[in-house]
A and B are shown apart, each in its own frame.
Chain A
């Protein structure tokens, strides 16, 4: 058997690695999600995988769990080559996965969820007996105490996660893969989780931990692999690396896109946010005590890994969801709850380019000229009275299509038929042309081709030069670096740091994005 592990002492018989991924390639159409990935996970260790969104971690784990098959490469479990064609095979091979989105039925009990698919017979009585015994065993061996008869829907998120882990263990998992496990946990729940993981490791289980939070990597893992753009850049012993090193590997040092920007003195404050907080219907705190301000003629970039509250921030500022705590003052006037709605905010000059243009910013089945009027259909430029002036709407868009180089130049074409970049231009044109005082922009160049990216960036800078206050939320750190005058970093619903653009770099921001607070760094 070829020795792949770099740490081989001839006199000691090493157990084969729990998992070996050799030369894994996976493409989806033109996108190469995994590129020649080589990963060795030693038995009885906790192995972390870090990387930003889109780095390829989820695809890799999906291949391991049998959701996809790799285009090329080999998988070895305990030294044996296995072809994992579906999840059943993965489970039989001892691989268990805990998803970010739990595969639990809220309406059933813990016992029922654990048994589902592994009932051990047509009648439930015997299987239930076995499952209860197993659960009691887990409680003893790992300290995993869960009430088998509790309804999953009544459990806290942390407890639900434990049920997922129990499910995997019940099916004989020796390797546990956890995908961003602390994304929805409170700090104390996260601590409890890592205690559990340590106990599992002590009993010989192997754990793969996918996360972007460097604190956790440093605290809990034995080894860590960094993924970026589909490749594994490095695999390091955790004890021998540092958050700084990991962060710069994670986000990269080069800024590929640089837009031309003259420095500009920002004017007066136009948007003032104090103590903003938001708790969603599941009781998860999405925004915590956010305070910042926006001034005329500046671009503030909000950096952070997706899912750390940025989307909620935009929705709150745009009046789509109501904050739980805190105040927002626009142009010096504090906004009442009544005023916090999209129509009123538009009237006052706060406009919004949403992150999800297909779900929110446009109406895909509508012809383009109707999407181009979304939010403004009541304006006088489109006629008075109950009917709208279709010709005016069409002419309006045609003019803008010219200015923004939208192709094809067909205002009557269905919105869905335009490419991502052109769709985004339609949305931008719509908002920018109304001379906003404050512009909120979410993921301005997601799914947009290079040429359009350049155009959009130049337009935003031009807007800022005209004195507009712009808030840009983006998961692309390069974009933030390129456009912003100031950068705010969010992690876990809080602002972990605020920097002037000149005073920071990707390493610094990477740390903040990964939850390392400005004080702790």
Chain B
């Protein structure tokens, strides 16, 4: 009985850790989903999350309010998203180049401004108390806890997380719903594949894409805010550490769909959580799994997927192609 509850507890701990680690991925992944399904390639997820992380931490520190921090993070991310949108949609510029620029800009600006304001090598001062989101205990958590399997899953993994976690999970459901069941979602799916059809139907391609890009900014804002305000209690230089690109990988893996995106990001988060546990550990059979092998998995899997070895990864047809009216 003891080992069972030990295993159960360990599983719960790892799963809880996996969920928390995957939240920035999910947020960024959804952001990429909205943008790419409307036809705008976005490799600047990393940069948008980073600037959001910084802005939210700075605002939360200044106002001692996590919610204001969230607002600031979203605003910053949306600003960058609009910059990318302007270059990609209105100026019909190269969307990859624009994304690279966004990433560099964010990295540079957060470092310069962070250093200028706080002088701690680019970090913000640590956030405490109301400047961070409190852990929310979901209703009925203590009651269900004793129920086998579902209990710990609900009480220890799902419940007891800060607000941005739930915002992100709700965003997954919302994304799936809006995409499939609303007029906006239909038009968006159309414009990402064949904007000509949308244009001849009398709907503005540019407006649709701008809306998608703004949504993308909001989502990156939530993800970035979670990173600094919730997870790390402050901004650290380059704290996104490639999560924006892993999110891109997850997006490709999920074939640009919301629920599979959740699954892919949870998987990557799980890999992350496991790799932390496995550091230096020796498995039965004396095989020492190098932590790097697990770290490399998300990237390797993406490459293998892109190479078409595990099914085809076909992005929205009009992705990355600026729309020019053909007359």
A residues sitting closer than 8 Å to B (CB atoms) are 62, 67-68, 86-88, 91, 103-108, 112-113, 115-119, 121-125, 127
- Cα(A151)–Cα(B203), bound, Å: 22
- Does B187 belong to the interface (CB within 8 Å)? yes
Checking B196, B197, B317 against A113 with a beta-carbon cut-off of 8 angstroms, the contacting residue is: B197
Tell me whether A62 and B327 are in contact (CB under 8 A).
yes
Contacting pair A105 B202 (CB below 8 A): no
The answer to whether the Cβ of B115 comes within 8 Å of any Cβ in the partner chain is no
Q: Which residues from A are CB-within-8-Å of B181?
A: 123-125
Given A62-B327, A67-B327; A122-B194 close (CB under 8 Å): no
Q: Which of these, B183, B185, B190, contacts A105 with CB under 8 Å?
A: B190
Q: Shortest beta-carbon distance, A99 to chain B, in Å?
A: 8
Taking a contact as CB atoms under 8 Å apart, the answer to whether A105 and B182 are in contact is: no
Interface pair A105/B327, CB less than 8 Å apart:
no
Q: Say yes or no: A103-B183 contact (C-beta < 8 A), given A116-B201, A117-B201.
A: no
B259 sits at the interface (CB 8 A): no
Question: Per-residue CB proximity of B169-207 to A under 8 Å, as 1/0?
Answer: 000000000000111111101100110111011110000
Sampled A-B contacts (12; CB under 8 Å): A68-B327, A86-B202, A87-B202, A105-B193, A105-B194, A106-B317, A108-B190, A116-B203, A117-B198, A122-B182, A124-B182, A124-B183
Q: How far is the CA of A409 from the CA of B186 in the complex (A)?
A: 56
Main secondary structure of the interface of A (DSSP, over half): loop
Q: A104-B194, A123-B182 are in contact. Are A118 and B189 (CB under 8 A)?
A: no
Q: How far is the CB of B170 from chain A (nearest CB, A)?
A: 19
Q: Please determine whether A122 and B184 come into contact, CB atoms closer than 8 angstroms.
A: yes
| Contact for B194 among A87, A106, A117, CB less than 8 A | A106
The answer on a CB contact under 8 Å between B317 and A107 is yes
A118 to B197, CA, bound (A): 12
The smallest beta-carbon distance between B31 and chain A, in angstroms, is 21
Interface size on B, residues (CB 8 A): 21
Closest-CB distance, A312 to chain B (whole angstroms): 22
Contacts of A103 in B (CB 8 A): 194, 196-197, 200-201
Q: Which residues of B contact A117 (CB under 8 A)?
A: 187, 198, 201-203
The distance in angstroms between the C-alpha atoms of A182 and B200, with both chains bound, is 22
Contacts of A124 in B (CB 8 A): 181-183, 185-186
> B208 to chain A: closest CB distance in Å?
12
- Per the bound structure, the CA–CA distance linking A127 and B185 in Å amounts to 14
Residue of A nearest to B191 (CB): A105
CB contacts (< 8 Å) of A86 on chain B: these are: 202
B residues sitting closer than 8 Å to A (CB atoms) are 181-187, 189-190, 193-194, 196-198, 200-203, 316-317, 327
* A119 and B327 form a contact (CB under 8 A): no
Q: A123 to chain B: which residues have CB within 8 Å?
A: 181-183
- What are the residues of chain B within 8 A of A115 when measuring CB–CB? 186
How far is the CB of A128 from the nearest CB of chain B, in Å? 9
Contact partners of B189 in chain A: CB under 8 A: 105, 107-108, 112
Supply 10 further A-B pairs (C-beta < 8 A) apart from A68-B327, A115-B186.
A87-B202, A103-B197, A103-B201, A116-B190, A116-B198, A122-B183, A122-B184, A123-B181, A123-B183, A125-B181
Q: How many angstroms between the C-alpha atoms of A211 and B194 in the bound complex?
A: 26
- With a cutoff of 8 Å between Cβ atoms, the chain B residues found around residue A116 in the complex are 186-187, 190, 197-198, 201, 203
B317 to chain A: which residues have CB within 8 Å?
106-107
**Contacting residues, chain A, for B202 (C-beta < 8 A):** 86-88, 91, 117
- Bound complex: CA A112 to CA B201 (Å): 12
B193 near A107 with CB under 8 A, answer yes
B183→A119 contact, CB < 8 A: yes
Least CB separation from B316: chain A residue: A107
CB distance from A62 to the nearest CB of B (A): 7
- Give the chain A neighbours of B203 by CB distance below 8 A: 116-117
Which residues of chain A are within 8 angstroms of B197 by Cβ–Cβ distance? 103-105, 113, 116
Most A C-beta atoms less than 10 A away, residue of B182, B198, B200, B327? B200
CA distance A379 to B193 in the complex (A): 44
Tell me if A106 and B186 are in contact (CB < 8 A).
no
A residues less than 8 Å from B194 (CB atoms) = 103-106
A112-B183 CB under 8 A given contacts A62-B327, A88-B202, A103-B194: no
| A465 CB, nearest partner CB in chain B, Å | 43
Minimum CB–CB distance for A502 against chain B, Å = 43
Contacts of A108 in B (CB 8 A): 186, 189-190, 193
A87 to B182: give the CA distance in the assembly, Å: 24
Q: Considering the chains assembled together, what is the distance between the CA atoms of A127 and B203 in angstroms?
A: 17
Query: By CB atoms of chain A within 10 A, which of B185, B196, B203 has the most?
Result: B196
How far is B190's CA from A116's CA once the two chains are assembled, in angstroms? 8
Q: Which of A91, A108, A121, A127 has the most CB of B within 10 A?
A: A108
Max chain B Cβ within 10 angstroms of own Cβ: one of A86, A87, A105, A115: A105
Tell me the nearest residue of chain B to A102, going by C-beta: B197
Chain A nearest CB from B257 CB (Å) reads: 12
| A511 → B minimal CB distance (Å) | 33
> For A107, what are the chain B residues with a Cβ–Cβ distance below 8 Å?
189, 193, 316-317
CB-CB under 8 A from B190, the residues of chain A are: 105, 108, 112, 116
Query: Whole-angstrom distance from the CB of A148 to the nearest CB of chain B?
Result: 14
- Residues in A whose Cβ lies below 8 Å from that of B201: 103, 116-118
CA distance A123 to B181 in the complex (A): 6
- The chain B residue with its CB closest to the CB of A101 is B196
User: What is the CA–CA distance of A124 and B184 in the complex, to the nearest angstrom?
Assistant: 9
The answer for the CA separation of A107 and B317 in the assembled complex, in Å, is: 9
CB distance from B261 to the nearest CB of A (A): 18
Instruction: Point out which of B184, B185, B186, B193 has the most chain A C-beta atoms below 10 A from its C-beta.
Output: B186
A106 touches B183 (CB 8 A): no
- Shortest CB-to-CB span from A58 to chain B, Å, is 10
* Smallest CB separation, A254 vs chain B (Å): 32
List of B residues within 8 angstroms of A87 by Cβ: 200, 202
Contacts of B193 in A (CB 8 A): 105-108
A67: chain B residues within 8 A (beta carbon) = 327
Q: Report Cα–Cα, A68/B317, bound state, in Å.
A: 28
CB <8 Å contact, A112 and B186: yes
A103 and B184 alpha carbons, distance in the complex (Å): 19
